Structure 1
Amino acid sequence: MKLFISDDEIDVREGIRYLLNWSELGFYICGEGKNGQDTLEQIIRLMPDVVLLDIRMPKLSGLEVIKRAREQGFSGRFILLSGYSDFSYAQEAIRFGVTCYLTKPIEEKELEKAVLEAKESIRNELDMQKKLLQYRDKARDSILHDILFNKANDSFLDYHDMMLESYVYQVVLYANYNQDSFQATWDFAEILRLANKNHNSLEFLKQNDLNVIILKGDFALNRFQELVEHYISQPQKGSPLDSLFLTYGKPVYSAEHIHSSFEDAQLLMKRRFFCHFNQHVLGYMDLPKDFPTIKSNAFMENTYPQQIGNHIQSANHQMLQEVLDQLKKDLYFADLEVPIVKHTLADIMIQVKSILTHTYCGIEIPFPNNAAIISTIEEKYYLYEILDFFTLQFEMCMNAIGSPTRENVMDGILHYIQYNYQENLKLGTIADLFGYNSSYLGKVFHKATGKSFNSYIDEVRIENSKKSLLNDENKVYEIALLVGYTDVNYFHKKFKKYVGMSPAEYRRFYQ
C-alpha cells in the first residue's frame, strides 16, 4: 500500500520515514509534503492509501487539506499528527472521516498500531466492495435473465440505473463453429467491446450453454453489422472469427421488447441444422416467413421414397435433384425438431432402399444396413451433409442397377417397365418420369417397339404371369394381382388374347 508523509518539519518527516520498517508492514512511501497546498496537490495526483498528516502546516491546515481532498473524491485514510493534544481539532477531523489522532512525539508502537488498523480498514472496505459488486453483478445477471425470458416486472425496473437505457437493442448469440470442439468459445463479446471502444455499448451474460450479448445503441448495432459483413460471413481461415457461429435477432426499440430479439436468435440457433456449407451467421431475416407452413404430420404419408426410387430407376439426375431440393425446402418450413427431421430422413432412405431392393431382387445394390443408415444420419450436424450422403448413395444405386444414360432414353423406359410392370403404369407417368411430353413419347414408343404403350405393358405382364403359373403355387387371382391386374376377369381376357387359352388351361397344359 502507498503511504504519504506530510509535515512542515523535515526532521519529523525523516523520523517517521525511519521509525518503522514500512516494507515489512506492507507499505512503501510514495511521497512527502512540506506544506498544506503541496500536500493536497500530491494527494490528488498520487492517491495514496494512507496519509500521515500534521494538523498545523503553512498555506493550508491539515483539516483544510482533508476537507478539500474529500471534496475532490479522495477516499484514503488520514492519520492526524499534532504537537499537542487538542481535542477540538480531533472532533472536527471526525466529521471528515478521520478516526486516528496521534500526538507528538510519536510513539513507535502507537504509529504501527494506527497504520495497521488503517490497512485493515482499507482491506475490509475493499472486500466489502468486492462482495457488493459480486452481489450486484449476480442480481444484475438475474434481472437480465428475466428480461431475456420476458419474466421481468417492468414497473420495478430502473433501466437508467442498470445502464440499459437506450433507444435500440439487438440480441446476439454465439457458439463454436466446430460443434465437435471442446475448446472454450472465443470471447466475441470482448471483440465487440474493442470494436466499440465503449464498455457500456453491450451487455454480456451466459445462459446455460448460450453466450448472450445485448447490443445497445445505433453505434453498437452498426459496428456489429460491419463485423458480420466484412469479417464473419466469410472469415479468414484460421482467424478467431473463423471459430465462431453467430445468430442475431431483429432490432427492437424498447427494453421491454429485448426478449423478442432474443427469441429470434434462439430460434435461429436451433435452426443451425439448415445452414449451408461454411455458413457462420444466421440473422433474423433468415427466419422462414409465416413459419411453420408445413405441419409435422405432412411427412407421415409423404411420397418422397417412391419419387426418389422412380428417378433413380429412370436415371433422371435432374428430376432427382429437384425432388431433393423440394425435400430440403419442405423440411425447412416444417414444424419439426431436428431429431425428428433426422428420423424422417432416415425413414425416407430406408424406404428407398426397400423399394429398390424389392424391385431389383436379383441385383446387389450397395446400400448400408438400416442401422448404419440411421447412425450416419444421426452423426451429421447439417442437412446439406445428409443430402450429400443421399446424392452419393443414389448415384451408386444408379450405377448398380445399370440405369441407361439419357442418350438412350427408350432403353431406359423399357428397363423401367421390366422392373415395375406390376405397378399402375401410365404413359403420362412414364413421360413425366423421363422428362417427355406424353403425346410425343407415345409416338416414339410405337416407332421403337412396333406396339402401343398399353399393348407393350400387357405383353410384359402376360409373359411374367406365364412364368408364375408354371413356377408358383399361387392361385390365378393372386398371380393377376402380382403382375399388375386388379381385376381377375380382365386378366383372364388379356391372357386368352395373347396366349390363346385361359391361365388355368395354360397351367394344366404345360405343367
Structure 2
Amino acid sequence: METVLIADDEVNIREGLKIIIDWNELGFEICGEAANGEEALSAILEKNPSLVLLDIRMPKMYGTDLIRIARERGYKGRFIILSGYSDFTYAQTAIRYGVDFYITKPIDEDELSQAITKIKQGLEKEHAASENIELLKNKAKDVILHEIVTGTYNTAEAALLSPRKMEEMNLYADIYQVVIYEKFSENPEDISYSFADLLKITNKGNHTFEYFEEDGNEVILLKGQFALDKFSGFLERYEKNPPQKGSPLDTLFLAYGRPVRSLDEIYLSYEEAYTLQKRRFFCMQGQHTLGYDALPKVQDITLEINNDKLEEYSNLLTDYLIAFQRNKVAETLFSLEEFLYNVKNDIASVKLFLTDLYLRIKEKANHIFCSAEIPFPTNSQIIDRIESCHYLYEIILFISEQTEMIMNATGNPSRDTVLDDILYYIDHNFRSNIKLEGIAPLFGYSSAYLGKIFNKTMGESFNSYVDHRRIDYSKELLKENRLKVYEIAGQVGYNNVDYFHKKFKKYTGMSPAEYRKNGFTPPLKNLPETD
C-alpha cells in the first residue's frame, strides 16, 4: 500500500480531499496532513510518503521552496500541486523540481483521480524495476560468493576479488572459515534451526556470515574473528552437552574447514569441510561435528569393500549365530564396523554391502533352521531400513538386533553347556563340509582340546558323530526314494559318492542301494573312527 500526505492551509480542503477520493481503491492510505509549509516539509522528511498533495501557497514556506528543499534532502516521492493560481511561472518552477501534476482549484474530482491513478501506475513500475535490479545484484553476489568459496572463479574475474569490491558486497574480512551445515531429519515437525539460531548471533547486514545452498546442505562462510569465536564456543558447548536422542538438534551435522586469512584461500577451507561432510555417515554415535583436525586420518584411508570381505563376514556371523556365540557375534560386528570406518567407498556402496551381508545371513539361517519360524523382515523392509539409516552405527545396531532375534528364535533354552551348543551346531550343519578344526574356534577352544572333551563325553570321536548324523539322514532320504544315490551323497555332506558308499556300508553293513531295496534298517555299527 502506497502512502499520501495532504498539505493545505485550509482545513476544509484537507477534509474534502480525504473524502472525494477513494484512496484505498486507488492503492493509497493517508499517512498524515500539514497546515503550513514547515509542517509539510517536516512530515515529508519523517514519513517519506509515496505522494504529496501540496497547496502551492501556504504559510511559512511556499510550495516551490518546499519541493526544492525536500529534493535536496533526498526525497524521491511524487508531488501533485493544488493551486488557485494558473500562473505559468509557478507551473514551470514546479515541473523543474519533478512535480507530476499541476491541478488548479476548484479541484475536479475526475481529473485528480486520473492523476493519482497514473502516479500509482508509475510507482508500480518503479518498484518492479527496483526489485529486479536488487534481484540482479543479489544474484550476482550469490554467484561471486559461490565462486569464491568453491574456488571456481577464473583469472578474468580476479578483479571481482579486490578489497573495495568485497567491502561493497560485505564479503571482506580479516579471517574466514567454511562450515557445511547438514540437516537430515525426515520429520517435517522438526524445528529447522537457522545457523544464526545455533550460534545465537544476529547477522544484520550479513556482517558475520554468508551462505548458499548446495546439494541440499547450507554452505556457510564465517566472516571475521567475532563469528569464528562464536562458532568455536558453540562447538565446545555442543560437544560437552550433546543433544538428546530424537531432539531436533540430534538431526544436524556440521563439518568445518580450517580458518584462512585471505579470499583466495577460502576454497581450501571449503574443500576440507566438503571432504569431512562426506564422512558424516561414518561418525560415531552421538558425534555431530567433524573438523579439519580429523583430516589426516580421513586422507590416509585406503581400504575398499569387495566380495571376498562380504563372504568372509557373512560366513563368520552365520557360524557364530549357529554356535550361539553372542560374544563372538559382537566381536565380529565390532570388527566389521572398524573395517567399514576405514574404507574409501561412498555411502551408497557401504549400504549395499551391508544389505547384501544381511540378506546372505537371512538366506543361510532359513536354510539351516528350515523348521524354525524366524520372524525375519521381508527383503524390501530390510532394504528400506538400511537405506533410511543416516549413520553406519545405526545399521550395525540393526544387524546386531537381528542376530539376537535369530538366536532367540532358534535357540534351545535347556542347552546350558558348551557341548550342547556344539551338538546343536553339528545337527544343523552336518550337511556342509564340517570339520573339528573349523568349528573349535567358534566355541573358543583349540581343536585338540575340543576333540578330547568330545570323545570323553560322547564316547566317540567328533568325526564318528558327524558320520552317524549323515548316515541317519541318508537313510531317511533313501526311504523317500526321490533322489539318486549320488545326489543323496551330496545332500548329506559327502562330495565323493564312493566315499559315501564306504561310510554307509561301514555303519549299516550294506550298500545304499541294498538298503533302499531291502527297506529295513539294521542297527548301526558303532565302530571306532579310523579316518
Please show how residues 82-481 of structure 1 align to structure 2 within 5 Å: 85=87, 87=89, 97-100=97-100, 102=102, 106-109=105-108, 117-146=118-147, 150-153=151-154, 154-155=157-158, 157=160, 158-166=165-173, 167-175=175-183, 177=185, 179=186, 181-182=187-188, 186=192, 188-189=194-195, 191=197, 195-196=201-202, 198-200=204-206, 201-207=208-214, 209-224=216-231, 226-227=233-234, 230=237, 234-235=242-243, 241-242=248-249, 244-253=251-260, 254-256=262-264, 273-274=281-282, 281-284=288-291, 289-290=298-299, 292-297=301-306, 301-359=310-368, 363-364=371-372, 366=374, 368=376, 371=379, 374-375=382-383, 377-378=385-386, 380-382=388-390, 383-402=392-411, 408-417=417-426, 419-420=428-429, 423=433, 425=435, 427=437, 430-436=439-445, 438=446, 442-443=448-449, 446=452, 449-450=455-456, 456-464=461-469, 467=472, 474=485
- Partner deviation per Cα, 1:396-446 (whole Å, 9 max, x = no partner): 33344447899623443454455556536354x55532335x3xx745752
- Deviation of 1:164 (Å): 2.5
CA contact (8 A) 1:276 1:384 kept: yes
Identity %: 27
- Deviation of 1:459 (Å): 2.6
Give the structure 1 partner of residue 14 of structure 2: 17
- Aligned equivalents of 1:235, 1:184: Cα separation in 2: 14
Residue identity in the other structure for 1:507: S
- Aligned equivalents of 2:461, 2:205: Cα separation in 1: 79
CA contact (8 A) 1:172 1:265 kept: yes
Count of residues in Structure 1 that have an aligned counterpart in Structure 2: 486
- Aligned equivalents of 1:315, 1:405: Cα separation in 2: 13
CA contact (8 A) 1:293 1:333 kept: yes
Superposition TM-score, scaled by structure 2 size: 0.70
CA contact (8 A) 1:469 1:507 kept: no
- Partner deviation per Cα, 1:214-258 (whole Å, 9 max, x = no partner): 44333334444555665797447897x458534333255355565
CA contact (8 A) 1:196 1:220 kept: no
Residue identity in the other structure for 1:396: M
Give the structure 2 partner of residue 31 of structure 1: 33
Residue identity in the other structure for 2:400: T
CA contact (8 A) 2:333 2:396 kept: yes
- Aligned equivalents of 2:223, 2:252: Cα separation in 1: 21
- Aligned equivalents of 2:37, 2:52: Cα separation in 1: 13
- Deviation of 1:343 (Å): 3.0
- Deviation of 1:172 (Å): 3.4
- Deviation of 1:312 (Å): 1.5
SS state at 2:168 partner: coil
- Aligned equivalents of 2:497, 2:506: Cα separation in 1: 15
1:208 and 1:45, CA in 2 relative to 1: closer, same or farther beyond 3 A?
same
Residue identity in the other structure for 1:250: G
CA contact (8 A) 1:480 1:488 kept: no
- Aligned equivalents of 1:398, 1:184: Cα separation in 2: 37
SS state at 2:299 partner: coil
- Deviation of 1:308 (Å): 0.6
1:405 and 1:347, CA in 2 relative to 1: closer, same or farther beyond 3 A?
farther
- Partner deviation per Cα, 1:80-111 (whole Å, 9 max, x = no partner): 57767364x7666666x4234748x6441366
1:236 and 1:226, CA in 2 relative to 1: closer, same or farther beyond 3 A?
farther
Residue identity in the other structure for 2:107: E
- Aligned equivalents of 1:175, 1:479: Cα separation in 2: 58
SS state at 1:289 partner: helix
Give the structure 1 partner of residue 528 of structure 2: none
Superposition TM-score, scaled by structure 1 size: 0.72
Residue identity in the other structure for 1:186: S
SS state at 1:69 partner: helix
SS state at 2:353 partner: helix
Residue identity in the other structure for 1:20: L
- Deviation of 1:208 (Å): 6.6
Gaps (5+ residues) in structure 2?
479-483, 516-531
CA contact (8 A) 1:350 1:370 kept: no
Gaps (5+ residues) in structure 1?
none
Residue identity in the other structure for 1:127: A
- Aligned equivalents of 1:508, 1:198: Cα separation in 2: 90
Residue identity in the other structure for 2:314: P
- Deviation of 1:39 (Å): 4.7
- Aligned equivalents of 1:80, 1:17: Cα separation in 2: 13
